[in-house]
Amino acid sequence: MKRKGIKRRYTSAKKSKATSSIVKFFRFIIVSILIVLFLGIVYHYRNGLAYYFSFKSDKVLEKESEDKRLSDVRNYQVLANHKGKAIGLDVSEFQGTIRWSKVDSLEQKFPISFVFVRATAGNNRVDSQFLNNWLGVKEQKIIRGAYHYYRPNENSIEQANLFIKTVKLHKGDLPPVLDIERLPKNQSLDSLKKGLKRWLNKVEAHYKVRPIIYTGERYYDDFLKEEFGEYLFWIANYNFYREKIEDDWLFWQFTEKATIPGIKHTVDVNIYNGDLQQLQFITVD
């Protein structure tokens, strides 16, 4: 009886040991698979993770440096091609708090003659940096203008009233600007154009000066050029193939990637289709 009991215990211990080995083996396989998956995910998102933790690879740094170099070269070439024309910026809360006392020129060669400041957006949004920017530009004795970001799906008169309530134009300021970039949802283009005209008419009646319209070149060509031909246009086009401002554009926004002392983030740069004296001619009396 004792021998049989010993044999059973031996057999049971042997089976238990075998089961334990199998469990350990499968545990090893699962852990190995998880490690491989984890390493695969880390490798796949290596650039994003490196950026997040501020340990960028040389390749990422080289690409960013090359992109910035190409942008800087183009910006300089465009500015050089428009020697004598007035150069300016447009800013909003997206540039953060600007140290206007440091803002005076581009590339230490091209003086900044004007700045457009975002004032309002839609029917309920006042730019959080509007007052700081509006007063800061004035203190620097730079010509200033204010613009409204138009939301196609909100009431146009309410949007005009918000802009009028927010912006007090003075002698020497630029005319108000309507910024339209988006197409409407759940309404026709005719309805959009009626809303734009209502905003423009309301604002013109208040300030006694015809507003300027800001938009992209394609939007201008497709939707606005014919029906809004009596207005002056400020056109955005950042493409490398475009090197000069068109004759029928009042302003050209040619880049959104300029770096300026006093401004933390990149900023848009614009060219006026004339010199400083001609720019002063279109300001509010």
Catalytic residue among 90, 173, 217, 268: 90
Do residues 254 and 273 make contact, with C-beta atoms less than 8 angstroms apart?
Answer: no
Do residues 237 and 217 make contact, with C-beta atoms less than 8 angstroms apart?
Answer: yes
Phi, psi of 250, rounded to the nearest 5 degrees: -80, -45
Length of the chain counted residue by residue: 285
The closest alpha carbon to 119, from 197, 201, 178, 184, belongs to 178
Instruction: Report how far residue 199's alpha carbon sits from residue 178's, in angstroms, rounded to the nearest whole number.
Output: 8
Do residues 177 and 211 make contact, with C-beta atoms less than 8 angstroms apart?
Answer: yes
Instruction: Report how far residue 23's alpha carbon sits from residue 107's, in angstroms, rounded to the nearest whole number.
Output: 68
Amino acid letter, 88: G
Do residues 180 and 215 make contact, with C-beta atoms less than 8 angstroms apart?
Answer: yes
Catalytic residue among 67, 158, 181, 275: 181
Concatenated DSSP letters of 57-121: -HHHHHHHHHHHHHHHHHHHHHHHHTTTS-EEEEE-GGG-S--GGG--EETTTEEEEEEEEEEEE
Amino acid letter, 173: D
Residue 201: burial class (beta carbons within 10 Å; 0-12, 13-18, 19+): middle
The closest alpha carbon to 87, from 277, 278, 269, belongs to 269
181 is catalytic: yes
Catalytic residues: 90, 181
